[in-house]
Structure formats: structure tokens, C-alpha cells
Structure 1
Amino acid sequence: MQAILATLGYVLSPDRRSVLMIRRDARPDDIHHGYYNGLGGKLEPGEDIVTGLRREIHEEAGLDCTEIDLAGTISWPGFGRGGENWFGFLFRVTAWTGTPYTANPEGSLHWVDVAEVLSGNLPMWESDRHFLPLVFAASPQVFHGVMPFSSGKATSWSYTL
């Protein structure tokens, strides 16, 4: 399977009660428009996955990651706008330096209580609600999941620890 490699990082506040999220509200043609999401994006040629995450967090939020933990991986067959397959590496950013931006070309940045993210009340991809409890677990374990998409919706979810 050919896939677009990507990072998805969840920048935690020092007390780990809040997470820096982007509200994708800058471009109406964005398939994520109106949704809250972690920070990240596509890997560039020649980058390893951690370098890609650090670059994306710096570009999107103005922060430099000093401690990161791998939360897990997810294969998203059919996720892309044209049905492309995506493969994502999800991270918790537990320490960082800098002052976060309030916005970037993709949208506005917000500190959101982790409890609010997990509550189901925040506008986000419905499918994110399946894996976010694993990312923010009190005693997290690295997980590896697969979430096939069809017509813009997840059709199933499974994972192993």
C-alpha cells in the first residue's frame, strides 16, 4: 500500500490538562474546515518522522519540541480528498519552548481542556473520538490502529497495543 506519511502532534500544557489545538477555520475548501485537530502534516523528502513533527509544530505553532512521546500509529486507507491512503504517527508533546502563535494560515490556535476534547462536544472528525482516549490515557500505551475511510467517513476502527 502506498500512503502519504504524516505526523499528528498533541502539544500539552505543563500541567497536562490542556492541549493546543488548531481550529481549521482559515480556508473554506479545507476538508478539515471548522474542525479542531492536533498539529502536524505531511513528511517532507529526507525527513525522519520526529524531525517532521518538530518542523510542523514549529511552523504551525512557533514552538520547539523538547520532549515527545510516541502515542501510536494509524493507517487511514482512503482518507484523502481523492481517496489517498494516509499513515500517521501520533505524538504527545510533553515539553516545549516558545510562545505559541494565536493563528497560522490553516486556522486559529486554542488551548482546550483535554476533558473537553474527550467529551464529544468539540467539533472534530467523528473518527478522532475513537483514538483520542488512547492518546490522552492516564497510563498511555503505544497503539497501532487502522481506520479505513469511504466517502469521507470512517467505516471501521481496530487497534493493537
Structure 2
Amino acid sequence: MRAVIATLGYVLSTDRRQVLLVRRDRRPDDLHLGYHNGLGGKLEPGEDVVAGMRREIREESGLEARTVELAGTVSWPGFGRDGENWFGFLFRIPDWSGEPYAECPEGTLVWTDLADVLAGRVPMWPSDRHFLPLVFAERPAVFHGVIPFENGVGLDWHYSRTD
């Protein structure tokens, strides 16, 4: 299977009660328009996933990620605009420096209560609700999940953990 390799990061507030999300509200042709999402994007040629995550955090938020914790991976077969397969490395960023931008080319950056994210009170891809409890678990373990997509809808969810 060929896939677009990407990163998706969740910057946590120092008290771990909020997460920095991008409200995708800039580009009318954005597949994610209207949704809140973590920060991230495609890897560049020759870039490892941690370097790619740090670059994306810097470019989209202006922050420097000091600590990057692997939460897990998710395979999204059929997710892209034309049915491309995506494979993402998901990270928690609990330690960072700098002041976040108010916005980036993808949208407005907003500190969002983690409780609201986990309770489904924030507009996000419905399929994100499967893996976000694993990303933000009190005692996280690295997981590897699959969410097959068809016509913009996640069809299923299953995962394995490394513990």
C-alpha cells in the first residue's frame, strides 16, 4: 500500500488541561474546513517523523517543541480527497517554548479544553473520537490503529497497543 506519510501533534498547556488546535477556517477548498484539528502535515523528503513534527509545530504555531512523545500511529486508507491512503504518526507535545501565533495559513489557533475535546463538544472529524482518548490517556501506551474511509466517512476502527 502506498500512503502519504504525515504527522499530527497535540500541544498541551502546562497544566495539561488544554490543547492547542487549529480551527480550519481559511481555505474554502480545505478537506478539513470547519473542523478543529491538531497541528501537523506531510513529511518532506529526507525528513524523519520527529523532525517533521517539530517543523510543523514551528511553522503552524511559532512554538518550539522541546518534548515530542509518540502517542501512536493511524492508517487512514481511502482518506484523501481522491481516495489517497494516509499514514500518520500522532504525538503529544507537553513541553514547548515560545508564544503561539493567533492564526496560521490553515486557520485560527485556539486553546481548547481537553475535557470538551474528549466529550465531543468540539467540531472534529467524527473518526478522531476513536483515537483521541488513547492520545490523552492518563497512562498512555503507544497504539497503532486503522480507520478505513470511503466517500469521506470513517467506516471502522481497530487498534493494537504495544503494552
Residue 80 of structure 1 is matched in structure 2 by 80
Distance in 1 of aligned mates of 2:65 and 2:105: 20
What is the letter of the counterpart of residue 32 of structure 1?
H
Residue 132 of structure 1 is matched in structure 2 by 132
Distance in 2 of aligned mates of 1:75 and 1:130: 13
The 5 A counterparts of 1:13-52 are 13-52=13-52
- Cα drift, residue 3 of structure 1: 0.3
> Residue 55 of structure 1 aligns to a residue in which SS?
helix
What is the letter of the counterpart of residue 48 of structure 2?
D
What is the letter of the counterpart of residue 56 of structure 1?
E
**1:51-91 CA distance string (max 9 Å, x none):** 00000000000000001110000010000000000000000
The 5 A counterparts of 1:9-158 are 9-158=9-158
What is the letter of the counterpart of residue 157 of structure 2?
W
In the alignment, structure 2 segments of 5+ residues that lack a partner are none
What is the letter of the counterpart of residue 149 of structure 1?
F
Distance in 2 of aligned mates of 1:156 and 1:32: 19
- Cα drift, residue 18 of structure 1: 0.4
> Residue 78 of structure 2 aligns to a residue in which SS?
coil
Count of equivalent residues: 161
- Cα drift, residue 48 of structure 1: 0.3
Distance in 1 of aligned mates of 2:10 and 2:30: 20
Q: TM-score w.r.t. structure 2 length?
A: 0.98
Q: TM-score w.r.t. structure 1 length?
A: 0.99
Distance in 1 of aligned mates of 2:80 and 2:73: 17
In the alignment, structure 1 segments of 5+ residues that lack a partner are none
> Residue 41 of structure 2 aligns to a residue in which SS?
coil
